[in-house]
Structure 1
Amino acid sequence: MGFFGQFRFSNGAWCSGSKEEPYLLIDVHDSDLASIEYAPVAGGASGRCFLGFEPRHYFDDPEANDPINPALEAQALADWARAATGAVVDTNRLQTLLADPDGEHPAEPFVEETVVRLLAALELPIPAELQAASAQQVLPTGAPRGGDAARQALHDLGATEVTPQTLGDFMGAVKKHLD
């Protein structure tokens, strides 16, 4: 079974319940797809995009979602980041992270890794639960998979969230616990 989780960013922090604009909502489904909802939305975009797979391809159901225009959503998401946090984001980088509109398999085997890359591109902190789930997926074969090394590394760093700036420290601490 893969990872399931929902993360909401509003008022400059990860929180629960609030959809006060600007907000970003990430819903990870079974490590295979993540839906991204954001508001406010500009430029005719839908305010929704996907990482990994679009639901219509994942569930083999053309009605599961309307087709997404990756270029339009990447631009709108970059505009969202600028309005929400002041971050200037490369729309081409964002577009490469979005689910392929034709249903091609994503480059990353676990969508949590793509979510972490998206948050880094948006210059947002990475929730500890998501960082730990992503770290579990990149551990070497035969390494503990329960997240113990990742949780211990977070504890050692005194972190409840891992930001893109501390990602190297975090991965180094995970490696220390694996050795």
Structure 2
Amino acid sequence: MGFFGTYLYDGEHWHDADPDSRPTDDRPWMLLDIHDSDFTIVTYDPAPPGAGTAYLGITPRTYFEDPAASAPTDVFREAAGIAAWRSLLHPGGDQLATEEQIVTFLAQDVDPEDDDLDDGDLDDAEVFAEVKTARFVTALGLPLPPDLDT
């Protein structure tokens, strides 16, 4: 059995959360929902210019081999959205460089039939969503959720 965890960042701290949690105030927030060490759903607000949802590891469409499991991904749009979100918390800095770093973490849809990677050649962050999620959070300059701070 893999790792499961859901965490809400309220602009200051991470809290254990329900996957359907959404803050009601105006502060920027981010929700990380790690599913069985395979993928993380990143939901954030405000989102412009992104859609407010990105994935780490693989996408639900790929994981479940079902196009209805999640909307198609646009990693460049979401990287821009997450970079804009981050700049609300940490004004200044190079947003383009931030986008270029963020896009390296984001998952895009792949056809499982075309995926011929050998898992033995992958880094832990490519195999375990919680490792990639911790690296992603660190790259954003945020503290780690307690369960990922190991």
- TM-score using structure 2 length: 0.79
Q: Secondary structure at the match of 1:123?
A: coil
Larger Rg: 1
Offset at 1:11?
Answer: 3.4
Aligned to 1:13: 13
**CA distance in 2: counterparts of 1:95 and 1:11, whole angstroms:** 22
Structure (1 or 2) with the greater helix fraction: 1
Identity %: 33
Unmatched 5+ residue regions in structure 2? Answer: none
Higher relative contact order (CA 8 A, sep 6+): 2
Q: Which runs of 4+ in 1 moved over 6 A?
A: none
What is the rounded CA distance, in whole Å, between the counterparts of 1:54 and 1:87 in structure 2? 31
Alignment pair present for 1:100 and 2:108: yes
1:13-52 equivalent positions in 2, closer than 5 A: 13-16=13-16, 19=23, 20=25, 21-43=27-49, 45-52=50-57
How far apart are 1:15 and its partner, in Å?
2.5
Contact 1:25 1:37 in 2 (8 A): yes
TM-score by length of 1: 0.67
* Matched residues, number: 131
Q: Deviations over 1:69-101 (max 9, x none)?
A: 000100110100111233745211110101133
Deviations 1:109-159 (A, max 9, x none): 101111011111110001221223xxxxxxxxxxxxxxxxxxxxxxxxxxx
Residue 29 of structure 1 deviates from its aligned partner by: 0.3
Query: Counterpart of 2:55 in structure 1: which amino acid?
Result: F
Separation (CA, whole Å) in 2 of partners of 1:62 and 1:3: 24
Change (3 A) 1:8 1:87: farther
Structure 1: runs of 5 or more not aligned:
133-179
Match of 2:137 among 110, 115, 119: 119
